């Protein structure tokens, strides 16, 4: 009988089970955990789970697991697991304990909590924002083609006014949605927060500043403007901005009247004040009366406070920040257009991009357009271009796993404008990608800046489908095309992997990696020669054959699971063992064969033994960072070596001073071709003594 563990079950086990979960939510691509103890998680084990694109430890006990577009389904399945349902009460109780712990975590935890509050207030709205942005893109395309003039309600007629309502509902009532999420995040009744914010969007409140028009003289065609509440409301015109502001006198006190549709800062500020009030009322009011009097007192306190004070503050704050960015955009458009796309690659992984997204919405509400999304498009398409470059190389290298990852990420980006699958599935795993992607960001931003900047008529996710929203459209197309192409070409020409990563990936696949385009012919010849030798004398591959592999150095034997690097300890590269060297460090060939990988850094050697065993000897952990310092290399790629021949001498003092582990993994990279690879040594071992025993398949 076999037991199959599903992806949701494997994830739950990997994070320490339901009892270790304080809180679980998700965004467009990631499961977001808050745990009692995040130290129990093995990052490599998580990333080995089918369907997981990456794992991202965060400060405190927060942890993110990247799933991609299927995150909603995985989240739902996890929440429906019996273990999660059983621990539901404990999770609620743990939220209180987590809040207490967060107070003791210090300054960074407060900052993290602040940005998490912003992010969690917006993240659940991603699906509706995406859906609305596609309707907007469709309208913009019709407008650009001259089919319908969407800027003139009278001209477009009732049908298209109705279509407008399909997306305007999302953006006009956005403050209500944000208030709900923010209240839920701060563990108070989300409907109380929703009702308080909704009060400022009711027809009753809006009527305070509405105007009625009366004809001053019969048949004259001249109209005078009269406020419905003319004795209680006064309005003034700002001649500089061309805007009108009204103040109502409520209970004899002045209240600034604003249109709160589309505002996002106001609900965030309001809920942040409401939360301590609500929890304080819960402590003061007896339990059997809380259902009535906690909402009642919250309403009568917070609705006036929001209308008189917090609402205007939120509007002023948003307008001030927007005005500052608008000044920079108009005064130094090239600088602005370059800085924005260069910032986003660092903001998005940390979830710090949401404040800028909020400013985009404020710009649209106050200015009628946004100027941040255009330069932001340069970042998104540079990100997608880098992914496209990885996809091209994956197809060339016949890397099935990376091809699937890059294909999905590229589709999510180009069609949905979502960058997280690219970032977490690929870019943050390979350090060579970011510098090349940033060049694409800078090139795209420079073009946008030189062109005088861009305007977006509404908030959208920058994808191929939303191009018509931007004006001038031609400038936007040129900018994002340049960003995409630059990043893609740089990745294709220079590769996204270091030599070590190429060697490790090739070794994991049971083959060798080509170091660069100019080495291709030499590598192919080398592989052919090694294959010929293996085919002629592959004793280790003959059915039932037992082959012993000697230790390449003197030291203490370490089980592979105890090697301090998850890439090796999980067996992803191959089965084997570790040897921690003692005394003078001299690494030798365990048997006769051909050196197929020997980077200039001297830290790793791939050897195809004549008997058919393929070995990787990785001298130390992370020693590639020494760039060859302390390594006296004796061989090069393509050399024939005999048993006991020196590969490298290592200066122990240099490595230890740098703080790197000297534990040396000795791995059989073509493990899949054998029935078993066993560690037979223990304790100390001499050079040439048997370390591993390999048994061929029957």
Task: Give the contacts of 10 (CB within 8 A, at least 6 positions apart).
Answer: 49, 50
Q: Locate 398 and state its tokens.
A: 């016949």
At residue 378, the pLDDT reads 92
Q: What is the CA radius of gyration of the chain?
A: 32
Given a contact cutoff of 8 angstroms between Cβ atoms, the answer to whether 484 and 382 are in contact is yes
Edge-to-edge order in the sheet of strand 21-26: 21-26, 30-35, 62-66, 54-57
| CA 194 – CA 191 distance, rounded (Å) | 5
Q: Locate 44 and state its tokens.
A: 């490599």
Q: Locate 249 and state its tokens.
A: 């006198």
**Residues 26, 353, 603, 618: which is the catalytic one?**
618
| CA 69 – CA 193 distance, rounded (Å) | 30
| CA 370 – CA 360 distance, rounded (Å) | 6
At residue 671, the pLDDT reads 86
The answer to whether the bond into 472 is cis (omega within 30° of 0) is yes
At residue 69, the pLDDT reads 59
Q: Give the closest residue to 439 by CA, choosing from 505, 495, 486.
A: 486
| CA 689 – CA 674 distance, rounded (Å) | 21
**Residues 27, 246, 383, 441: which is the catalytic one?**
27
Given a contact cutoff of 8 angstroms between Cβ atoms, the answer to whether 228 and 332 are in contact is no
Beta-bridge partner residues of 21? 35
Q: Locate 614 and state its tokens.
A: 């393929």
At residue 567, the pLDDT reads 65
Residue with tokens 């949401």: 354
| CA 419 – CA 441 distance, rounded (Å) | 14
Given a contact cutoff of 8 angstroms between Cβ atoms, the answer to whether 611 and 622 are in contact is no
Beta-bridge partner residues of 674? 696
Helix 473-494 vs helix 373-396: crossing angle, to nearest 10: 30
The 8-class DSSP code of residue 363 comes to: H
| CA 653 – CA 217 distance, rounded (Å) | 99
| CA 429 – CA 415 distance, rounded (Å) | 23
Max Cα distance, the chain (Å): 113
Q: Locate 207 and state its tokens.
A: 């009527």
Q: Is 235 noted as a catalytic residue in this protein? A: no
| CA 199 – CA 596 distance, rounded (Å) | 72
**With a threshold of 0.85, does the pTM exceed it?**
no
The DSSP H or E segment spanning 578 is strand 575-581
Question: Helix (H, G, I), strand (E, B), or coil: what is residue 362?
Answer: helix
Count CB atoms within 10 A of the CB of residue 589: 25
Residue with tokens 């400060």: 59
| CA 332 – CA 249 distance, rounded (Å) | 42
Which stretches does DSSP call E strand in 201-240? 211-215, 223-227, 233-238
Q: Is 249 noted as a catalytic residue in this protein? A: no
| CA 658 – CA 630 distance, rounded (Å) | 10
Beta-bridge partner residues of 650? 585, 631
Q: What are phi and psi of 3, to 5 degrees?
A: -120, 125
Residue with tokens 């952990």: 621
Calculated CA dihedral for residues 496, 498, 503, 509, nearest 10 degrees = -30
Count CB atoms within 10 A of the CB of residue 678: 11
| CA 601 – CA 499 distance, rounded (Å) | 10
Q: What are the angstrom distances between the C-alpha of 121 and each of 26, 131, 148, 565?
A: 12, 18, 35, 37
Helix 311-331 vs helix 333-347: crossing angle, to nearest 10: 120
Point out the residues of the chain with pLDDT beneath 50.
1-4, 88-107, 212-226, 240-242, 510-537
Burial of 121 (0-12, 13-18, 19+ CB in 10 A): buried
């Amino acid at each position: 009988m076999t037991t199959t563990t599903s992806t949701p079950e494997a994830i739950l086990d990997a994070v320490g089970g339901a009892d270790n979960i304080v809180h679980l939510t998700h965004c467009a691509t990631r499961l977001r955990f808050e745990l009692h103890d995040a130290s129990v998680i093995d990052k490599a084990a998580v990333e080995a789970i089918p369907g997981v694109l990456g794992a991202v430890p965060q400060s405190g006990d927060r942890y993110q697991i990247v799933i991609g577009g299927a995150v909603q389904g995985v989240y739902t399945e996890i929440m429906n697991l019996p273990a999660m349902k059983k621990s539901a009460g404990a999770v609620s109780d743990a939220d209180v304990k987590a809040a207490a712990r967060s107070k003791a975590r210090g300054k960074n935890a407060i900052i993290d909590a602040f940005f998490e509050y912003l992010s969690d207030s917006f993240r659940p709205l991603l699906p509706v924002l995406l859906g609305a942005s596609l309707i907007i893109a469709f309208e913009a395309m019709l407008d650009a083609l001259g089919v319908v003039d969407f800027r003139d309600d009278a001209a477009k007629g009732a049908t298209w006014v109705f279509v407008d309502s399909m997306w305007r509902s999302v953006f006009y009532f956005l403050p209500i949605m944000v208030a709900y999420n923010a209240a839920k995040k701060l563990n108070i009744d989300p409907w109380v927060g929703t009702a308080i914010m909704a009060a400022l969007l009711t027809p009753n409140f809006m009527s305070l500043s509405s105007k009625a028009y009366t004809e001053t003289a019969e048949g004259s065609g001249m109209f005078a403007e009269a406020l419905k509440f003319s004795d209680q409301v006064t309005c003034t015109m700002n001649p500089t901005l061309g805007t009108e502001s009204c103040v109502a006198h409520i209970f004899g006190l002045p209240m600034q009247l604003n249109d709160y549709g589309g505002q996002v800062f106001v609900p965030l500020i309001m809920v942040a004040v409401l939360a301590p009030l609500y929890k304080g009322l819960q402590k003061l009011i007896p339990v059997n009366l809380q259902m009535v009097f906690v909402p009642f007192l919250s309403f009568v306190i917070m609705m006036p406070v929001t209308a008189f004070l917090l609402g205007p503050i939120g509007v002023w704050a948003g307008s001030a920040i927007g005005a500052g960015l608008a000044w920079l955009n108009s005064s130094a458009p090239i600088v602005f257009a370059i800085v924005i796309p260069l910032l986003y690659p660092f903001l998005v992984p940390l979830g710090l991009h949401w404040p800028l997204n909020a400013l985009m919405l404020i710009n649209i509400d106050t200015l009628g357009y946004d100027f941040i999304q255009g330069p932001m498009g340069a970042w998104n398409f540079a990100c997608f271009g880098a992914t496209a470059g990885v996809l091209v190389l994956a197809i060339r290298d016949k890397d099935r796993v990376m091809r699937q990852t890059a294909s999905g990420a590229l589709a999510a980006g180009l069609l949905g404008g979502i960058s997280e699958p690219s970032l977490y599935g690929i870019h943050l795993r390979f350090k060579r990608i970011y510098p090349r992607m940033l060049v694409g960001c800078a090139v795209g931003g420079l073009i946008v800046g030189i062109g005088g900047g861009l305007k977006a008529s509404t908030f959208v996710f920058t994808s191929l489908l939303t191009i018509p929203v931007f004006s001038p459209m031609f400038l936007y197309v040129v900018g994002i095309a340049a960003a995409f192409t630059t990043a893609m070409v740089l990745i294709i020409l220079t590769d996204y992997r270091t030599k070590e990563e190429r060697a490790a990936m090739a070794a994991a696949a049971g083959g060798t990696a080509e170091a660069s385009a100019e080495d291709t012919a030499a590598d192919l010849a080398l592989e052919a020669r090694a294959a010929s030798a293996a085919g002629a004398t592959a004793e280790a591959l003959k059915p039932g054959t037992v082959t012993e592999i000697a230790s390449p150095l003197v030291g203490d034997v370490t089980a592979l699971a105890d090697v301090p690097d998850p890439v090796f300890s999980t067996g992803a590269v191959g089965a084997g063992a570790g040897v921690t060297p003692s005394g003078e460090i001299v690494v030798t060939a365990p048997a006769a064969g051909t050196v197929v990988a020997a980077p200039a850094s001297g830290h790793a050697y791939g050897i195809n033994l004549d008997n058919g065993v393929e070995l990787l000897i990785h001298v130390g952990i992370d020693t590639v960072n020494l760039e060859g310092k302390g390594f006296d290399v004796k061989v090069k790629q393509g050399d024939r070596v005999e048993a006991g021949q020196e590969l490298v001498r290592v200066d122990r003092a240099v490595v230890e001073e740098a703080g790197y582990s000297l534990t040396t993994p000795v791995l059989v990279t073509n493990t899949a071709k054998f029935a078993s690879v066993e560690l037979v040594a223990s304790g100390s071992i001499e050079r040439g003594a048997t370390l591993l025993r390999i048994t061929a398949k029957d």
